[in-house]
Structures are given as structure tokens and as C-alpha cells.
Amino acid sequence: MPPMDITPSGAEKEQTVSRKAEHVEIVLNEQSRAQKNWWDSVSLLHCSLPEFDLEEVDLSVELFGKKLKAPLVISSMTGGYPDAEKINRNLAEAAARVGVGLGVGSQRAGLLKPEVANTFSVVKDFKVPLVMANIGAPQLISQANSTVLNIDHGRQAIAMVGADVLIIHLNYLQEVVQPEGDTRARGVLARIKEFASALPIVAKETGAGVSHKVAVQLQEAGVKGIDVGGVGGTSFSAVEFYRAEKEKDAVRARLGETFWNWGIPTPISILEADVGLPVIATGGLRHGLDAAKAIALGATAGGMASKMLKPATISADAVVEALEVVIAEMKAAFFLTGCRTIDEMWQSELVLSDDLLSWAGRLEPHSDAD
Ligand SMILES: Cc1cc2nc3c(=O)[nH]c(=O)nc-3n(C[C@H](O)[C@H](O)[C@H](O)COP(=O)(O)O)c2cc1C
């Protein structure tokens, strides 16, 4: 690994590390989900005559050149503080055993503070079929009091976890509510383009969804895929609300409340992000039925974060069990819609409720061939 050429302040390092620990604590212990789960507004059409056996359902899929046993990834969550090592170890062991993808949390802490890099690199101990590294878009441009990450840092993040792709997460909703948020955004797209010219980049929202316009901008910037990270599940506005309350920051707490449910619903964002790239659908997936709905809408894989967090604090077996339940539910949904494969589910009919259709009503026309 090339030598670190960054000299972050002590405060910056500590802030990053303790923030990641607080996020996990809040998601485990507080109601930090959006008030409406938009997956309830999508229904699959029942098929009374599947004409194949349940055991014939084949959920395998290729994503970024890697073969997954099911169209599922454990979405980026954590790393960078001592307890995160166990969480990432359990997630990685389970992802390897079950054959699904895994993202680690933002690696800024690991890049700034090499002594915590092991809390991320532990995932290399397992044969996870698809590993996704992670850095934040705001850190790619100059911010007050924080280190700018360059392409070399991107390479280091990839090497740290043996990743197949590097996620650049877009989290301005969180940054705007967060007491110490990085709210400069000018120039980010050009930086994503620079990174994408050198490294395999996946752009990922973190709970506010991706619009068609942004999806086109990202595609033109050269990203390899988009995780739409829509609203409906974990709300980072909610998470930062709890942090702001604790810090007695009334303005940020109020922002957190006001923007609790902000964003594009995940199901709609899948349609919006239909620009010919693989789409990962993260945001509010509770079970395999939600994941099957995501595939029916055109995603290549569903992504689950918070649902895997509690089991990950217990053991790899607990995560395996949680994943196996999700896969059994997904198989049932495929069987009951008469779809044997991912390709068939992509072609399947579905029903959107009026509340979702009102979003779809403003979609710009785009080809349904891809
Ligand atoms: C504790 C926690 C930490 C997270 N940290 C990151 C992160 O570092 N980078 C990132 O891209 N997304 C992060 N996310 C967002 C998730 O990847 C995901 O987009 C979001 O939680 C919505 O999925 P869910 O409804 O299944 O939780 C985090 C989520 C949780 C719950």
C-alpha cells in the first residue's frame, strides 16, 4: 500500500470515529426509520399456475462481473471504531457463506487513522463474492477542517477491503442536518468523473433516492452502477436528529425532524435510475418480498442495511439465518409470480398504488428496452 500522504487533525480523526459508533447505536436503539415504507405501495401479480417447482427457482445473478447466489447485497454500514470489527466480520462471514454481496461503511476513518483499518480489512478473511469499498462524495472536494480524498485514497480504500468496486456515497441530506456536516457540493460531479476514469465506481445515495436527471449525470460521469438508496427505511435525517438533540443543537434537531421523510421513494428511484446501468435498490427493504419487488421494478439486486445490523452484533450464524430467511421469501415471491429467474422477474407485471403513481407521473420518458 502506498504511504499515507494525509495529515488530518486529531479532532477530525476522533470525530469520524465516534460518529460512526453513534450511528450504529442510534439505529439499534431509536426509531430512526422513515414514517412511510414505500414498498407497501408495490404489489406483485399472483400467478396460480407457476408450471415449475419451487426448487427450480434460480435467484443467481451477475453484478459487476461477480456471480451472486441471490440478487442481494448487505449495504454499506460501518467500520472505523473497535466494535465495528465484529460487525464487519460477522457480515463478511455470512455474505461469504450465503453468496451475497457486501459493502463496508465509509472508510474515511480507516484512511485517516490506519490503526482502525483492521475494522474494515477484516472482510478480507472471507471469500465474499462481491465486496464494495466506500467513501463519501463530500470528502472528494475541499471542505473546511477536513481532508480531501484523492484517487490514491480511493485505491487504498479498495485495497483495504479487497474490493471489486468503490462506492462513492451521496449523503447531502445527512450532511445538511449533521451538526458537523460537510455541505459544500460544488464540483463533486467532476470529481466523481475523475475517480470513474481511474477506478470502478458505484454511486450510492444513502436514503434520499436518485432522480432520473442525476442518474443520467452519473452515467455520463462513467460510474459502473447506481445504488438508488431511496427513502422508506433508515432515515439519516432521523439519525442526525438524535445526535443533534444530544448535542443540544436546536437548529439541527429541527432540521432533522423537518426532513425526516425527505427523498424519492426507493421503488420510484429504481425506475428513475433506469439508464442502462446495474441498479442496486437499497432503502426500506424488510424482507425477501420487498427485494423481489425491487427486481420486478428493474433492479439487479436489493440492498439491506439496518435489517442486518442487529444480527451482525450477535454472530455470523445470526446473519446467515437472517439472509436465508430473506432468500426463502424471495424464492416464494418468484414462485408465486410464476418467475423462475431474475430475467423473468424483470418482465413481470406489478401494481403501483396511487401514492407511488403520482411520483411516476412526472417521470421523463425513457426507453423500456434497457
Ligand atoms: C448504521 C448505519 C451506517 C451507515 N453508514 C453508511 C456509510 O458509511 N456509507 C454508505 O454509503 N451508507 C451508509 N449507510 C446507509 C445504508 O447503506 C443504506 O443506504 C440505508 O441504511 C438504507 O437502507 P436500510 O433501510 O436497509 O437501512 C448506513 C446505514 C446504517 C444503518
Q: How confident is the model at residue 6 (pLDDT cuts 50, 70, 90)?
A: very low
Give CA separation, 199 vs 96, 194, 205, 210, 281, in Å.
24, 9, 19, 21, 22
Long-range pairs for 332-336: beta carbons < 8 A, 24 or more residues apart: 332/54, 332/288, 332/289, 333/44, 333/288, 333/289, 333/292, 333/293, 334/57, 334/59, 334/292, 335/50, 335/52, 335/54, 335/57, 336/44, 336/46, 336/47, 336/50
Q: CB of 121 closer than 6 A to ligand 1?
A: no
Residue 233: name the closest of 204, 272, 260, 268 by CA. 260
pLDDT at 9 over 60: no
Query: With a threshold of 0.75, does the pTM exceed it?
Result: yes
Q: How high is the pLDDT of residue 368?
A: 55
- Cα(84) to ligand 1 centroid in Å equals 14
Q: Tens digits of per-residue pLDDT, 39-89?
A: 999 999 999 999 999 999 999 999 999 999 999 999 999 999 999 999 999
Q: How confident is the model at residue 210 (pLDDT cuts 50, 70, 90)?
A: very high
Residue 75: name the closest of 105, 98, 31 by CA. 105
For residue 87, the Cα-to-chain-centroid distance in whole angstroms is 16
Q: How high is the pLDDT of residue 203?
A: 98
79 CA: nearest ligand 1 atom: 8
Q: CB of 136 closer than 6 A to ligand 1?
A: no
206 CA: nearest ligand 1 atom: 19
Asked if residue 124 lies in contact with residue 162, where contact means CB atoms within 8 angstroms, the answer is: yes
Listed in sequence order, the DSSP H helices in 130-228 are 151-161, 172-177, 188-198, 212-221
- Residues in contact with 148: Cβ distance below 8 Å, sequence separation at least 6, in sequence order: 139, 140, 141, 142
Task: Record the cell numbers describing residue 322, joined without a space.
Answer: 437472517
Strands 131-136 and 42-44 turn out to be unpaired
- State the angle between helix axes of 316-336 and 84-98 in degrees (0 to 180), rounded to the nearest 10: 40
User: Residue whose CA is closest, atom 12 of ligand 1?
Assistant: 76
Question: Which residue is it, cell 490503526?
Answer: 115
- Cα(76) to ligand 1 centroid in Å equals 5
User: Residue whose CA is closest, atom 2 of ligand 1?
Assistant: 77
Q: Tens digits of per-residue pLDDT, 131-172?
A: 999 999 999 997 666 789 999 999 999 999 999 999 999 999
Strands (E), 222-335: 225-227, 279-282, 301-304
Q: CB of 291 closer than 6 A to ligand 1?
A: no
d(CA 230, CA 217): 17
Query: Which H helix or E strand runs over 107?
Result: none
Q: CB of 132 closer than 6 A to ligand 1?
A: no
Asked if residue 200 lies in contact with residue 166, where contact means CB atoms within 8 angstroms, the answer is: yes
SS (H, E, C) 16-57: HHHHHHHHHHHHHHCCCECCCCHHHHEEECCCCCCCCCHHHC
Q: CB of 207 closer than 6 A to ligand 1?
A: yes
- Residues in contact with 340: Cβ distance below 8 Å, sequence separation at least 6, in sequence order: 52, 56, 57, 58, 334
d(CA 361, CA 38): 16
Q: Please provide the size of the chain in residues.
A: 370
User: Residue whose CA is closest, atom 23 of ligand 1?
Assistant: 283
Q: CB of 253 closer than 6 A to ligand 1?
A: no
d(CA 247, CA 258): 18
Question: Which residue is it, cell 423481489?
Answer: 292
Q: Mean pLDDT throughout 256-281?
A: 98
26 CA: nearest ligand 1 atom: 1
227 CA: nearest ligand 1 atom: 19
Q: CB of 78 closer than 6 A to ligand 1?
A: yes
End-to-end CA distance of the chain: 39
User: Residue whose CA is closest, atom 1 of ligand 1?
Assistant: 24
d(CA 323, CA 99): 10
Q: Tens digits of per-residue pLDDT, 117-136?
A: 999 999 999 999 999 999 99
Q: How confident is the model at residue 180 (pLDDT cuts 50, 70, 90)?
A: confident
Q: How high is the pLDDT of residue 1?
A: 36
- Cα(164) to ligand 1 centroid in Å equals 19
